[in-house]
Amino acid sequence: MTFLPRGGAASRHSRRAAATIGAVSAGLLVLSACDKPTPIATLTLGKDSVNTEAECYDDLDQAEVQKCVKEKPSETIELPAGETLRVGVDPEVSETGWSLWIDGQPATPQYKKTYYTFPNAGDLFSAQQGQAPQKSLTISVVEQNKEGTEFKGVWNFTLKNPDA
């Protein structure tokens, strides 16, 4: 017959198991308190691309959208003249629909695709008659329904004009 002293091997195993269960439970509690990441929008120019999560996301009203499209973008990419701009969104964004806004103003119709190509996007910097070309602009991907009455998300990027 084997006697295990108090606090012996069996007790150590129980404590380890309890500690493991406690750590797993605490980890799950912390994860459940985290916000789910927002969908991603991506801009691609040639071999360069940048992506970001939404500046604002989840049932936005018109005033919130106007505020969000003015937020400073975290990602910047250069857009030379004659270059093709490619915009990609997560499938859930394409289900709702999205459009591009330039410097806070709607600029395209709604798209229901995960990917859209804009040839000669460098023309976005074209100068108005008598004015110098813009050095940069903010392009926003705005998730919205076709009527433009319901908004869900805004992703902002800075496009720099290397030719200005």
Strands 75-78 and 85-89: unpaired
In this predicted structure, what is the pLDDT of residue 151? Answer: 95
Helix ranges, the chain (H) = 9-33, 62-68, 91-96
The pTM assigned to this predicted structure is 0.76
In this predicted structure, what is the pLDDT of residue 81? Answer: 82
- Which of 136, 161, 135, 146 minimizes the C-alpha distance to 108? 146
In this predicted structure, what is the pLDDT of residue 46? Answer: 86
Eight-class DSSP state of 122? G
pLDDT block averages, 10 residues each, the chain of length 164: 53 53 47 70 94 95 95 93 92 95 93 93 73 88 90 96 85
In this predicted structure, what is the pLDDT of residue 30? Answer: 43
